[in-house]
Amino acid sequence: MTEIFSWPFAAEILPALLRGAVVTFIATIGGFFASLIIGAVLLALGRSKQTAIAWLGRGLVELLRSTPLLIQVYVLFFVLPDAGIVLEPVTTGILALGLYHGAYVAEAYRAGLDSIPRGQWDAIESLRFSRFAAYRYLILPQAIAPLVPSLGNTFITMLKDTPILAAITVPELMFAANDAGSQSFRYVEPMTMAAIAYLVMSLIAAFAVFLLRQRLGTRYA
Amino acid sequence: MALIWEYRFDFLAGVWWTVKLSVLSALLALVLAIVAGVARSSKLRVLRIASGVYVEFFRGTSALVQLFWLFYVLPYLGIDLTPLQCATLGLGLCFGAYGAEVVRSCIQAVPQGQLDAAAALNFSYFQTLRIVILPEALIMMMPLFSNLLIELIKATSLVSLITIPDLTFQAKSIITKTYSSGNVLLVTLAIYLVISLIAASFMRRMEKVLSRGRQTGQPA
Amino acid sequence: MSDMITFDKVDKRFGQTVVLDQFDFRVARGEKVAIIGPSGSGKSTLLRIIMALQDIDQGKVSLDGRPLWDAAGGKHRIKPTRKHLRDMRSLVGMVFQNFNLFPNLTALGNVAAAPRHVLGLSQAEAEARAAALLAQVGLSDKLQNYPATLSGGQQQRVAIARAMALEPEIMLFDEATSALDPERVGEVLEVMRALAHERDLTIVVVTHQIGVARAIADRICFMEGGRILEDGTPQQILNEPRNERTRAFLRAVHLS
């Protein structure tokens, strides 16, 4: 080994890394949508009129936010099969990402709803909108625009959290890079390429969020 | 639960590593955050660009990727670090970048009127920074730093993947020894929760100490 | 003439503060009443109670002979269910000081939203009704504007059209011109004056602007400390007030 970075070796492992990147992409998208749903459920639990349920919801959010994602991943990976639920590693990973980030999304939802001025609720009540119509046509459209930045951040953070899924053998990009390294005992190329790939992917994601914000921002001030 | 008691010293050893690593990397991150954050709001273009590249690079790649890179690639470049040094450096660099953004945004949030007043008093740049900007910005930073500290404590679990025997590492090795995952993980979750809660209450106390005597009326 | 609004010995407190104190109040069908008085005198709370946005601690409130609130010792004798409140609200429309337009909808969308989703009209019918109302308030050229692109006066005219779109029998105006620039008050007042000519519409206006009260009302009540201290024709209240507090208030308003 004379040179530190071997281009031919880099070219050789590129296809494997790209396959890993596809899994990373799938896990990110899956985890994102899971977190949108789980976040809504957690918020609804936390706002329940039943005190016990509300405590459960808030406790769950606190637990999910105060403990490492890696441990939560292990919990699902080891404990679900014991409970008779056998999932693909990637499904387990998506579920774990959804739960962990769902707790953050619930907070974002809450902030979005709280940002709607009291006067809006007065107007809605005085015009006799049903709860469903109020949320569907008036509240959600207003709450979504301010949500875009924080949900965008969630998406980007999610992308950067996917390497953790390598710990439960999800064949994503980091797993592929590690695999390529351990087969050849050359780590410089796969690790560097993986790092660059994450940088590029998160820059693209950040740009997409920026464009989305611009489009939504011009609708109404 | 008898099982947990049997492995109590393994858990304790893990907690010790987790706490040590959290403290060391938090200190490194704090220094980096202030330096890079001040540099990002500097008038000198070179400093702005250099710190911008640092921040964007380390925020753009994930903490685990950075740890793996330092762990696997540095030896090939002739730099040999112990796993502890490697982990401290990795987490410190990563969270220093996040912290720098906090520092920058809080510096920008210092009202222009205060800067005008400092200019009128003929303060130098460093005097303004030291006497006016940083003390003011620090109070705004505290809640954000508190969040970052929790994120950092959680991220220390990643070092288990580069052979450091922290709490997560110990939990995993107890599981492989005993095949009992549920209880072990439950206890591990609880320990992390307690560490996070202690860290959060410590930060709240710090915030109170720092803003002592400043909150006379309603918040700005 | 039947009573459209009746307050019967109503108490309302916020913590220690007494907002309405053994409050009696009657408005006949088609009457145009202005409530004037210093801020904190309970004027806005009065309107919010009629709109069923706020409950009462004690007493009775009826609209068009139907009981809206009936409470004793902080306990509701009529259960304030959503259904009851929504039923009662069908009689009432309200215009707010800060407009409270929906920022995500155009002017047309704001006015059409309730006819579409509350009355269940078709989109086309709802928009036709909205367009007609917006024409009445002189905003035919602003149908597709979002609230953020309208002046305060224009926004308030949209809000009036929005409240009228549900064809209420009672219209409430809560300091509707107070958040406007002085040169914008006229255009909103013009619209309110046009509504005041509708014989069957009952109007209650809360304001601290004497000009607004004079322009709309055929009866003015002076309110302070949770009670009506003086009640009479505009001519009598504004020109020859009998109560000392009314005189003090009018002097203060004329000075400013």
Asked if residue B25 belongs to a domain, the reply is yes
- The domains of chain C are located at 3-91+168-255
pLDDT, tens digit, 9 for 90 and up, residues C115-169: 998 899 999 999 999 999 999 999 999 999 999 899 999 999 999 999 999 999 9
For B170, the token pair is 């110990």
Contact status of B53 with chain A (Cβ, < 8 Å):
no
pLDDT value for B220? 38
**In which element (H, E) is residue C136 found?**
helix C123-136
CA A205, CA A200: separation in Å to the nearest integer? 9
CATH superfamily, with its number, for domain C3-91+168-255: P-loop containing nucleotide triphosphate hydrolases (3.40.50.300)
The pLDDT profile of chain B, 220 residues, written as one tens digit per residue, is 778 888 899 999 999 999 999 999 999 999 999 999 999 988 889 999 999 999 999 998 889 999 999 998 888 888 888 999 999 999 999 999 999 999 999 999 988 888 887 777 778 888 888 888 888 888 899 999 999 999 999 999 999 999 899 999 999 999 988 888 888 999 999 999 999 999 999 999 998 888 776 654 434 3
For residues A68 and B157, the answer to whether their CB atoms sit within 8 Å is yes
Higher pLDDT, residue A3 or C192: C192
pLDDT value for C232? 94
CA B158, CA B71: separation in Å to the nearest integer? 12
Q: How far is A220 from chain C (nearest CA, A)?
A: 6
Q: How far is B114 from chain A (nearest CA, A)?
A: 29
pLDDT, tens digit, 9 for 90 and up, residues B97-111: 999 999 999 999 988
Contact status of A117 with chain C (Cβ, < 8 Å):
yes
Q: What are the residue ranges in chain A where pLDDT is below 70?
A: 1-2, 217-221
Domain with B34 in it: what CATH number?
Answer: 1.10.3720.10
Taking an 8 Å cut-off on Cβ atoms, the answer to whether A130 and C117 are in contact is yes
CA C144, CA C141: separation in Å to the nearest integer? 8
- Interface A–C counts its CB contacts (< 8 A) at 74
Task: Provide the mean pLDDT of chain C.
Answer: 92
Number of structural domains in chain B: 1
Q: How far is A176 from chain B (nearest CA, A)?
A: 12
Whether chains C and A touch (3+ CB pairs under 8 A) is answered by: yes
pLDDT, tens digit, 9 for 90 and up, residues A75-106: 999 988 988 899 999 999 999 999 999 999 99
Quote the crossing angle between the two packed helices A51-66 and B182-210, to the nearest 10°: 90
Alpha-carbon B96 to chain mean position? 7
For residues B155 and B95, the answer to whether their CB atoms sit within 8 Å is yes
Give the model's confidence band at C12: pLDDT under 50 very low, under 70 low, under 90 confident, else very high: very high
Asked if residue B169 belongs to a domain, the reply is yes
Residue among B61, B161, B193 whose CB faces A198 most closely: B61
Alpha-carbon B36 to chain mean position? 14
pLDDT value for B60? 85
- Specify the DSSP class assigned to residue B213: T
Phi, psi of C59 (to 5 degrees): 105, -165
pLDDT value for B217? 42
CATH of A7-217, one of 3.10.20.440, 3.30.565.10, 1.10.3720.10, 3.80.10.10: 1.10.3720.10
- A151: Cβ contacts below 8 Å, ≥ 6 apart: A36, A105, A108
pLDDT value for C255? 65
Taking an 8 Å cut-off on Cβ atoms, the answer to whether A188 and B172 are in contact is no
Amino acid at A197: A
CA A38, CA A30: separation in Å to the nearest integer? 12
